Amino acid sequence: MGIRRVSHTILAVLLVLVAAAPVLAQVRQSLHYNHAWGTFDRATADAVERSAYLREFADFEVRTTTGADGRVWTGRYLRGRETYLEVFGVGDVDGRDGELGAAALALSTERDGEVEDLEDRLRAEGVTPIRFLQTRDFGDGVPVPWFDSVFLTDAHDRFGAWAMEYRGEYLDDPRSEAGPARFPGDVSRERYLPDDYRDKLMRDITLIRFAVTAPDLADVLPLLEAGGLVPKADERGVVVTRGDTTMRFDVVPMGRTGLKHVEFELNRAVARHVVRLGTSTLVVGPGKSAVWTF
């Protein structure tokens, strides 16, 4: 894809967003940043997996998961109170997702039934959502319904996004280690994630930045809008500031895509500490924040 085509696409996206902004701002926010993943070079993935510091920094886990249709992936997870990050190395997941520069964003609901409302809004805008039930095998060979997901296309360059809603039967399964419901229909991020973050530095993700192609960005925008996230265009791409996590999407040509930058809120203030992880750098502090660049 040439730079000229990218520039024209950004301009078109900007004009559409400016025209739609007053309407989008009236949509109640139902989607929230849940997690993101990126696929990195093997040296970076291996450094993340071996890092003793990351086990102090976050509720950290390396896990191989078997999902629907027997699909298997190995991720390195850094979990906070409501949000988390997943790191893949090349080949850790099948297909295009396992290629260098691939990345994805998961947005989730907080209340049971909101995913159906999201689908209704998408259809009202002339968009046909694709529904998919993800399952998880806890090791006994029996798949457990995990979450309902909604996405708009399964054809993308290097970036995709989906909406998800955790299933009540999964959260109620003791093996999920989920917390008790705080209100009727509680399928929230906080209920899903364990409370081990309290003993670590990482509390939550406050900003995440992706480099994406213009077609991939265009495919994601209807989902953001239907979830009440109000994307706003600027000279670099699109930014979403509604909610607790800022999400930025910079438009780039193929070959420069990927998860590029993550900012964290910490549980307590610390002195500045720099950790090199493969080709990435994590700067923790000073104060109650950290920045990881890839």
Query: What is the number of helices (H) and of strands (E) in the chain?
Result: 7, 16
How many Å apart are CA 44 and CA 292, to the nearest integer? 12
- Mean pLDDT over all residues of the chain? 92
Looking at the predicted structure, is the pLDDT value of residue 4 above 50? Answer: no
pLDDT tens-digit map of 44-62: 999 999 999 999 999 999 9
How many Å apart are CA 225 and CA 29, to the nearest integer? 9
Per-residue confidence (pLDDT) for residue 81, from 0 to 100: 98
Closest CA to 282 of 56, 118, 115: 56
User: Which one is predicted more confidently, 209 or 3?
Assistant: 209
Give the number of other Cβ atoms within 10 Å of residue 98's Cβ.
15
Cβ-contact 68, 135 below 8 angstroms: yes
pLDDT bracket for residue 21 (50, 70, 90): low
Which strand (E) or helix (H) includes residue 276?
Answer: strand 273-277
**What are the C-alpha distances in Å from 233 to residues 3, 147, 152, 246?**
18, 31, 21, 14
Q: Which of 14-28, 45-59, 236-250 has the lowest mean pLDDT?
A: 14-28
pLDDT tens-digit map of 64-109: 988 877 788 899 999 999 999 999 999 999 899 999 999 999 999 9
Per-residue confidence (pLDDT) for residue 13, from 0 to 100: 56
pLDDT bracket for residue 23 (50, 70, 90): low
State the pTM of this model: 0.92
